[in-house]
Amino acid sequence: MPDIPKLQLSEAKLLGDSILEQWDRAQADLPATVIHGDWHFWNQCYSGDEVSCVMDFDFVQAGPRLFDVAYSLWVIYLLLPHHAAEFDRCFLMGYGQLTPEEQAMLPVAVSRIGLFFLFHSAYSSHPGEKWKRQYERQVRLLYWMRSEGGQRLRQILREMDSGS
């Protein structure tokens, strides 16, 4: 990949190896169901404050239900950053209780979504340009999930568990 800086690719590989190792160790303990695979605000219709319809079923499959939760949070953090501090909490509270295993893996699951979009840029018609845009956004998210972002999610989940 001549258009992708080797140092960035090396950093992304190290991050990716760490994230995927954590995911692979825990995946079998996560509840599975039928997942949407592309679940976010724009794939839903609303009637007032209620979801009245879900759309776009191209990626429906069996998988860990945490995937849809993580994907929605990824959308909030990357596409709605100015509203993230409000939306992540509201989304998780509206979604409901996660198992202890799901709670522990949520930052890793969000990071896994970021990895997908980063590495998917290699399949673009202009991989160097797309990598540059995705690298800046996704790697920032990956480090944030390892620190403040992961702490934020754990705090929200603790508050939900305690009923605050």
pLDDT block averages, 10 residues each, the chain of length 164: 88 96 95 90 88 91 96 96 94 92 97 96 90 95 97 95 80
**What is the extent of the structural domain holding 135?**
6-30+69-162
Cα–Cα separations (whole angstroms), residue 124 to 3, 128, 130: 12, 9, 7
Q: Is residue 114 part of a domain?
A: yes
The pLDDT value recorded for residue 42 is 85
The pLDDT value recorded for residue 30 is 97
Q: Is residue 56 part of a domain?
A: no
**Cα 114–chain centre separation:** 6
Q: Is residue 63 part of a domain?
A: no
Burial category of 46 from C-beta neighbours within 10 Å (exposed 0-12, middle 13-18, buried 19 and up): exposed
The pLDDT value recorded for residue 164 is 65
Residue bearing tokens 């079998």: 28
Q: Is residue 51 part of a domain?
A: no
Q: Considering the entire predicted model, what is its pTM?
A: 0.92
Number of folded domains that form the chain: 1
Q: Is residue 11 part of a domain?
A: yes
For the four alpha carbons of 99, 101, 103 and 106, in that order, the dihedral sign comes to negative
Please check whether residue 98 is in contact with residue 157, taking contact to mean a CB–CB distance below 8 angstroms.
yes
Q: Is residue 61 part of a domain?
A: no
Q: Is residue 21 part of a domain?
A: yes
Q: Dig out the tokens for 129 from the structure.
A: 């340009």
Which SS3 state, helix, strand or coil, does residue 45 take?
strand
Strand partners, 44: 54
Helices and strands, counts by H and E, the chain: 6, 4
Give the residue among 111, 125, 129, 120 at the shortest CA–CA distance from 5: 129
Q: Is residue 93 part of a domain?
A: yes
